[in-house]
Structure 1
Amino acid sequence: MLGFILKRLGLALLVALTVSFISFCLLYLSGDPATAIAGEGASAQDIQTIREFYGFDRPMLVQYADWLWNAAHFNFGQSYYFKLPVADLISSRLGVTMHLGLTAIVFALLVAVPLGVLAAKRPNSLTDKLALFISVAGQAMPSFWFALVLISVFSIDLGWLPASGAKTWQHFILPTIVLGYYAMPAIMRLTRAGMLEVLSSDYIRTARAKGSSEWRVLFTHALRNAIIPVVSLSAVQMGFMLGGSIVVESVFALPGAGLLAWESITRNDLPTVQALILLFSMFYIVFTLLADIMNAWLDPRMRTS
């Protein structure tokens, strides 16, 4: 198991370096950062002064090496717009995004996995059709439209929940439902497909022949094998929720890292954008690594494959 973890960890570090280099290059190839900082109407002399001040006139590989060294020491420079250290700026916003992402994935799993199991237990039943309806609706419904509907009903009409802000846990209920509902269809379909395949296996028939209860067969014997691809998918969905919650945070005015990313992009705040891209990439890499380790624990065959 230790060898498997070390191998996956080395691969994760390699992916992280590759992603950081590509994202760094793409940001510079998209345009001259000195021109973006100077703004419209700036003279050529002003742009050249800014280029020399921030070191944009150096070779790109030298700039990347300096940035990577500083990033390894959690020094991402100073925000061009907010005039604050980027590390402090992100740390002040990251808690909201982490809270929202964790509650959303827990909500999605608590609803999607049991519903997928029940749908597989009774194919073509009312439960199965309900699961199919939720899956199709979740994929077809834009998240911003769903968020506006919930705000209109539960905040404006009924007055039960706040529409914006992040002061109390009630402020996270509607954003959690919106963000978690987006991940539910894929998790539910994968759980249903895996359970349908596992329930036709010989060891399931043996467990039933031994007198095991149906709930024990479903959630102890069958779900342990069917849940393996769901773990990998949940890791990807968790990375998306932490890195792609810009729309939800914007609609509900949540001061998180997603909203900070949108603000930084629109204001050409290059150091903040670079740090957030690296951070969001790390989310995907770390959660994928944890999913591989958990799958190897659930299925020992993966350690030697």
Structure 2
Amino acid sequence: MIKYLFKRLAQSIFTLILIITVVFLLLRLMPEEGYLGTNADKMSNIQKETILTNLGLRDPIIVQLGKFYKNIATGDFGKSITYRPDIKVSEILKQKIPYSLYFGLVAVGLSLVVGVSMGIIMARRKNSIFDKLGTGYIVIINAVPAAVYYLAIQLYVTNTLKLPILFDKDNIASWILPAISMSLVNTAGYAMWMRRYMVDELNRDYVKLARAKGVSEKNIMAHHVLRNAFVPMAQYLPASILYTIAGSIYIESLYSIPGMGGLLVDAIQRQDNSLVQGLVIIYSSLGILGLVLGDIAMTLADPRIKLEKTGGGR
């Protein structure tokens, strides 16, 4: 497993470098006004050239890329241009990350508890009314555009339950709907996959044999079915958790939550290139980390799984 981890780490670093390079090149193709700030229209050509030269944008592209790598390696994403002029991107992120972290952790907890529990009950009571209702929920979440039910929750549930329509850090009641909304998609995913894997396991020969031997249904579920059904899910858990913690872009914008998700939308609208590239790199890093942790989680859930090729391969 150690050998595999080193190999995956090398692959992840290479992928991250590739992503950073692509982000760098794409942003260099953007209009130069994105580096000049909000007063670009009032500047003379000499002033614009001075600013671009000081930023190193007139250096050869290879030199710029080398400096970009060096800065990223030290955690320096540059300074904000239009969002909060001359403030370091890292300082802005320090203020935003706690909100995304809180809502992400709460949403993950809700989706795991509710989703896995739903999947278990749906599998054990297959074709029952609960199974049909759960399947309907999963279909709606996956078929209907997320913006539709997010807006419906914000408009109608807030009126019904008398909850604030926008986020207020001093009002704990305003934290409820964003966290629930953020957990809806993962809840449906966990329920769908848990039901599927459990139904597959319940139809296997070892379960039929255990029942024939008189093993109680409780022991079969606890020691065999649940454990084996959870193994394939383990691969997707870290990635979904990391993405959720990173924050839902739409939900944070919808509820005016000052987190990373809403920040990305705002940075794009303001054409703040430094802030955009910093956020894209962070999201990319989280995605790559999630893939590696997924493989590790799968082996921890079932030690029989080997990540390295042996004989016929993985």
TM-score by length of 2: 0.87
Q: Which runs of 5+ in 2 are unaligned?
A: 309-313
- Equivalenced residue count is 305
* Deviates most, 242-251 or 176-185: 242-251
Instruction: Give the superposition deviation at 1:160.
Output: 4.4
* Aligned match of 2:305: 301
CA RMSD of aligned residues (A): 2.4
Deviations 1:210-267 (A, max 9, x none): 4443233224311222223322333333343344611101111111011111111111
* Aligned match of 1:290: 293
* Aligned match of 1:79: 80
Distance 1:271 1:236 in 2: 26
Identity %: 27
1:265 aligns with 2:268: yes
1:45 aligns with 2:43: no
* Aligned match of 2:100: 97
Instruction: Give the superposition deviation at 1:133.
Output: 0.4
Q: Give the 5 Å matches for 1:20-31.
A: 20-31=20-31
Distance 1:99 1:269 in 2: 26
Distance 1:214 1:60 in 2: 66
The answer (yes or no) to whether the contact 2:247–2:260 under 8 Å persists in 1 is no
Deviations 1:107-155 (A, max 9, x none): 1121222222222233322222112101111123443433333333443
1:235 aligns with 2:238: yes
Deviations 1:15-46 (A, max 9, x none): 22222112222222243356764644654434
Instruction: Give the superposition deviation at 1:92.
Output: 0.8
1:191 aligns with 2:194: yes
| Equivalent position amino acid for 1:77 in 2 | G
| Equivalent position amino acid for 1:195 in 2 | M
SS at match of 1:303: coil
SS at match of 2:307: helix
Distance 1:252 1:178 in 2: 10
1:127 aligns with 2:150: no
Distance 1:103 1:86 in 2: 26
Distance 2:231 2:47 in 1: 57
| Equivalent position amino acid for 2:4 in 1 | F
Instruction: Give the superposition deviation at 1:181.
Output: 0.5
* Deviates most, 147-156 or 181-190: 147-156
* Aligned match of 2:60: 59
The answer (yes or no) to whether the contact 2:116–2:190 under 8 Å persists in 1 is yes
SS at match of 2:81: coil
Distance 2:214 2:31 in 1: 68
1:171 aligns with 2:171: no
Distance 1:196 1:93 in 2: 42
